[in-house]
Amino acid sequence: MKFPDMRGVGGDMRHPRFLALAAAVVLGVGTAPAVHADSREDPWILGKISNMTLEEKVGQLFATNVYGESGDTTAPADVAANQAMYGPGIENGDDVIAKYKPGAILYFRWSNNLNDPVKTAGLSNDLQRAALAQPAKIPLLIATDQEHGAVYRLDEPFTAFPGQMALGATRSAGHALTAGKVTGRELAALGINQDYAPVADVNVDPRNPVIGVRSFGEDTGLVSELTRASVRGLQQGGVSAAVKHFPGHGDTVNDSHDSVPWIFHTREEWERIDAPPFRAGIAAGADMIMTAHVVMPYLQSDCDVQTQEGCDPATLDPEIMTGLLREELGYDGVVVSDSLSMQGVRDKYGDDRVPVLALKAGVDMLIIVDDPASTISLDVAYNAVLNAVRSGELTEARIDESVHRILSLKKKRGFFDGDQQVDEGKVLRTLGSRAHKALARAVADHSVTLVRNEAGALPLTDTGQRVLVTGYRNVAPPSVKIPPAERLAKAISDLGVTTELFETGASPGAATVAAAVDKARASDVVVVATVNTATSASQRTLVNALLATGKPVVVVGARNPYDIADFPGAPAFLATYSWERPAMEAAARVLFGRTAPTGELPVTIPAADGSVLYPYGHSLSYRPSPGRSNT
One domain for residues 385 and 458: no
Query: Is position 622 within any domain?
Result: no
Answer yes or no: is pLDDT of 36 > 50: no
Lowest-pLDDT range of 136-150, 297-311, 377-391:
297-311
| Residue 288 φ then ψ, to 5° | -140, 155
Query: Is position 40 within any domain?
Result: no
One domain for residues 124 and 272: yes
Task: CATH number of the domain at 142, please.
Answer: 3.20.20.300
Task: CATH number of the domain at 562, please.
Answer: 3.40.50.1700
The secondary structure of residue 625, as a DSSP letter, is -
For the chain, the straight-line distance linking the first and the last C-alpha, in angstroms and rounded, comes to: 70
The pLDDT of residue 90 is 97
Residue that is last in its domain, among 402, 430, 458: 430
Query: Is position 402 within any domain?
Result: yes
Query: Is position 112 within any domain?
Result: yes
Residue that is last in its domain, among 430, 459, 489: 430
Q: What is the pLDDT of residues 241-265, one digit of tens each?
A: 999 999 999 888 766 566 688 899 9
The pLDDT of residue 35 is 38
Query: Is position 189 within any domain?
Result: yes
One domain for residues 240 and 385: yes
Answer yes or no: is pLDDT of 474 > 60: yes
Q: Indicate the pLDDT class of residue 376, thresholds 50, 70 and 90.
A: confident
The pLDDT of residue 7 is 26
Query: Is residue 338 annotated as a catalytic residue, yes or no?
Result: yes
Q: Indicate the pLDDT class of residue 11, thresholds 50, 70 and 90.
A: very low
One domain for residues 49 and 152: yes
> How do 62-65 and 366-368 pair as beta strands?
parallel
Q: What is the pLDDT of residues 487-499, one digit of tens each?
A: 999 999 999 999 9
One domain for residues 460 and 391: no
Q: Which of the following is catalytic: 42, 155, 205, 257?
A: 257
What is the H or E stretch that residue 96 is in? Answer: helix 93-100
Query: What number of other Cβ atoms are within 10 A of residue 567's Cβ?
Result: 21
The pLDDT of residue 625 is 67
pLDDT over 90, % of the chain: 80
Residue that is last in its domain, among 430, 460, 487: 430
Amino acid of residue 269: E
Query: What number of other Cβ atoms are within 10 A of residue 364's Cβ?
Result: 26
One domain for residues 457 and 402: no
Query: What number of other Cβ atoms are within 10 A of residue 195's Cβ?
Result: 27
One domain for residues 412 and 460: no
Q: What is the pLDDT of residues 483-534, one digit of tens each?
A: 999 999 999 999 999 999 999 999 999 999 999 999 999 999 999 999 999 9
Query: Is position 437 within any domain?
Result: no
Q: Indicate the pLDDT class of residue 354, thresholds 50, 70 and 90.
A: very high
Query: Is position 521 within any domain?
Result: yes
**Residue 365: strand pairing partners:** 336
Q: What is the pLDDT of residues 46-70, one digit of tens each?
A: 999 999 999 999 999 999 999 999 9
Q: What is the pLDDT of residues 173-185, one digit of tens each?
A: 999 999 999 999 9
The pLDDT of residue 306 is 86
One domain for residues 474 and 563: yes
Q: Which residues contact 488 (CB under 8 A, 6 or more apart)?
A: 469, 527, 529, 556, 558, 584, 587, 588
Answer yes or no: is pLDDT of 204 > 50: yes
Query: Is residue 36 annotated as a catalytic residue, yes or no?
Result: no
User: Over the chain, what is the mean pLDDT?
Assistant: 90
Q: What is the DSSP string of 385-426?
A: HHHHHHHTSS-HHHHHHHHHHHHHHHHHTTGGGS-----GGG
247 touches 299 (CB < 8 A): yes
Q: Greater confidence, 631 or 479?
A: 479
Lowest-pLDDT range of 4-18, 158-172, 341-355, 420-434:
4-18
The domain of 515 spans 448-614
How would you class 269 by CB atoms within 10 Å of its CB: exposed for 0-12, middle for 13-18, buried for 19 or more? middle
SS3 194: strand
One domain for residues 373 and 468: no
Q: Which of the following is catalytic: 126, 302, 317, 338?
A: 338
The pLDDT of residue 344 is 62
Q: Nearest Cα to 291, choosing from 257, 338, 361?
A: 338
Q: What is the pLDDT of residues 292-343, one digit of tens each?
A: 999 999 999 988 888 888 889 999 999 999 999 999 999 999 999 998 988 7
CA 51 to chain centre: 36
Q: Which residues contact 349 (CB under 8 A, 6 or more apart)?
A: 316, 357
Query: Is position 276 within any domain?
Result: yes
Domain count, the chain: 2
Q: Indicate the pLDDT class of residue 37, thresholds 50, 70 and 90.
A: very low
One domain for residues 237 and 195: yes
Q: Indicate the pLDDT class of residue 452, thresholds 50, 70 and 90.
A: very high
One domain for residues 192 and 93: yes
One domain for residues 267 and 394: yes
Taking the C-alpha atoms of residue 8 and residue 518, their distance in angstroms, rounded to an integer, is: 62
> How do 572-575 and 449-453 pair as beta strands?
antiparallel
